[in-house]
Amino acid sequence: MTKIGLEIHCQLTKLESKLFCSCKANYREFKPNHNICPVCMGLPGSLPRLNQKAVKSATSIAMALSCETPEKIAFFRKNYFYPDLPKNFQITQLNVYGDMSVGGEGYVRVENKKIKIRRIQLEEDPGRIIYEGASERTKITLVDYNRAGTPLVEIVTDPDFESPRQVRVFLNILSDLLENLGVAEPGLEGAMRADGNVSIEGGSKVEIKNIGSFHDLEKALHFEITRQQSLSERDIEIAQETRHWDDRRKITISSRSKEEDQDYRYFLENDIPWVKIDQNTRDTLKENMPESISSKKERYVEKFDIAPQVAEIIASDKYYSKLFENAYSDQNAKDIANLITTDVIGFIDTKEKQQNSKITSKHLSDLIDAINSKIITRNSAKIALQEIMKSGKDTKDVLQEMDLGQVSDSSEIDAIISQIFEDEKQAVIDAKKRPETVNFLVGKVMQKTKGKADPVKTLELIKSKLNG
């Protein structure tokens, strides 16, 4: 049986400042080495000052993943030399000597399987190494310390996954969960990374590092499983090792450096006293935690009779669920939900578009009101949505400016139908013989009225004219 475990790193980008200093947690907008200070540069004599909000965010994550959360936590030094590490040790956490990290022993349900979360720890992100010419063979290596000290949460799972597909489903659930908590933006480049480990029946555990994206992770896992299976079929022993993902060749390569043998000389970081997280704090965190995705979904289905697939889509995306939550009333909830999943999603399908879109919940409820009171057609609503997304103007103004008001006056529609019957004589004959082709004529009316004619009334009038 294939066993896959994950080690996920997620930056707490929603925090204002880094883990141990007041530099910005969101380092992305700065020129290289412009978001640094004596502390995150590890200058001689500087000391870490723990960002207490980061402890709270990390504890929230642990709670959302059903972890045990301890009353007090400690930080450790992980000692190793690397150019992106200003102090040549990383301040992190460890579950040894009884010293607890922010959480452990949790789980996430993935398709009725419990994926166990072994531990969650809070740590600092190192800086970034840039190889000039994007190759490790380059003569010039640049280091940008803007990222150094960014609060990072490491989530380690047990090897509970059986397939790369399951991993993908889990990562989707996890990134939705982290975003829903309001602590992270997994969509940001490099904000959420994952390494994996793979073992097959009878073989040793192989860790895969250097994986750039979730997409690559899935590929790397597939490759590694196939590699191990083919070794096993030929009775070649699968050695315990760390392999690196080669993004260019799409294969894993054995790491020449013996990283697995490295001794990190972990010991307590005495510059940061033990942090107490008392029951009161934990209770408050729990109370203020946003509703989980699964309970949201359940609520949508039960309370508003929304289809489970529709409820799932809205609940798992923070943007859509916010639009929905602020728009719905008991009467129009289902319509709003459908409008979001059939039309809004089509226009706003990326995080970037979500950020740029000017649609508000009020627009949605106004549009549904307009449809339900037959002021506009469903089709016109779609056209209006596109305009609203760009301009953010009031729904009423958009409908007026674009002349989208519905034509439901019978005599007006009748006149248009008469004209169409003149122009499309063959279609009229066809429709008389085969009633199912009547839609062609309805479509023509719609075309003429730019979608404004009431489709029900139009059909009614055409039918009576055909029969008459």
Partner 1 sequence: MNLNTSILKYIDDVKSGSFTVEEFISATLQRIKDIEEDVHAYLSLNDSTINDARLIDKKIASGEKIGQCYGFPISIKDNICISGTKTTCASKILENFIAPYTSTVVNRLQNEDVIITGKTNLDEFAMGLTTEFSAFGPTKNPWNLDYVPGGSSGGSAASVAANECLASLGSDTGGSVRNPASFCSVVGLKPTYGLISRYGLISYANSIEQIGPMTKTVKDSAFLLNILAGQDNNDDTTIDSNNVNYLENIEDGIEGKKIGIIKEMTTEGLSSEVSTAAKDAIGDFESLGASCEDVTLPTIPYTVAAYYTITSTEAGSNLARYDNIRYGYELESEGYEYNSYISKSRTKFGPEVTRRIILGGFVPSAGHAGKYFLKALKVKSKLISEINNAFEKFDYLIAPTAPVQPFRFGEKIDDPVTLMLLDYNTVTANLTGKPAISVPYRVINGLPIGMQIMANSLEEKSLLRSAYALESKTNLPEVPL
Residues that bind partner 1 (CB under 8 A): 38, 41-50, 77, 79, 81, 83, 86-89, 143, 145, 263, 265-268, 270-273
- Give me the residues paired with residue 8 across strands: 155, 194
Largest CA distance in the chain: 95
| DSSP letter for each residue of 327-385 | H--TTTHHHHHHHIIIIIHHH--SHHHHHH----HHHHHHHHHHHHTTSS-HHHHHHHH
Instruction: Give the shortest CB-91-to-partner 1 separation in angstroms.
Output: 11
- Tell me the C-alpha distance between 144 and 41, whole Å: 10
Instruction: Give the shortest CB-58-to-partner 1 separation in angstroms.
Output: 17
Instruction: Give the shortest CB-273-to-partner 1 separation in angstroms.
Output: 6
**Which residues neighbour 258 within 8 Å (Cβ) at sequence distance 6 or greater?**
none
Instruction: Give the shortest CB-265-to-partner 1 separation in angstroms.
Output: 5
Q: Which is nearer to partner 1, 22 or 400 (CB)?
A: 22
Residues 13, 15, 19: CA angle, nearest 5 degrees? 95
**Which helix (DSSP H) or strand (DSSP E) does residue 243 occupy?**
strand 241-246
Q: Are strands 206-209 and 241-246 parallel, antiparallel or unpaired?
A: parallel
Q: Which is nearer to partner 1, 145 or 300 (CB)?
A: 145
- Tell me the C-alpha distance between 132 and 139, whole Å: 8
Nearest one of 248, 208, 213 to 226, comparing CA atoms = 208
- The beta strand positions in 81-222, using DSSP E, are 89-92, 103-110, 113-124, 128-131, 141-144, 151-157, 192-199, 206-209
Integer angstrom CA distances of residue 171 from 153, 319, 393: 15, 18, 37
Q: Which is nearer to partner 1, 273 or 308 (CB)?
A: 273
In one letter, which amino acid is 86? Answer: P
Instruction: Give the shortest CB-332-to-partner 1 separation in angstroms.
Output: 52
Instruction: Give the shortest CB-76-to-partner 1 separation in angstroms.
Output: 11
Instruction: Give the shortest CB-300-to-partner 1 separation in angstroms.
Output: 45
Q: Which is nearer to partner 1, 268 or 402 (CB)?
A: 268
Q: Which is nearer to partner 1, 131 or 391 (CB)?
A: 131
Residues 380, 383, 387: CA angle, nearest 5 degrees? 135
Instruction: Give the shortest CB-29-to-partner 1 separation in angstroms.
Output: 22
Q: Which is nearer to partner 1, 45 or 202 (CB)?
A: 45
CB atoms within 10 A of CB 158: 15
Instruction: Give the shortest CB-126-to-partner 1 separation in angstroms.
Output: 13
Q: Which is nearer to partner 1, 94 or 428 (CB)?
A: 94
Q: Which is nearer to partner 1, 48 or 203 (CB)?
A: 48
Q: Which is nearer to partner 1, 149 or 186 (CB)?
A: 149
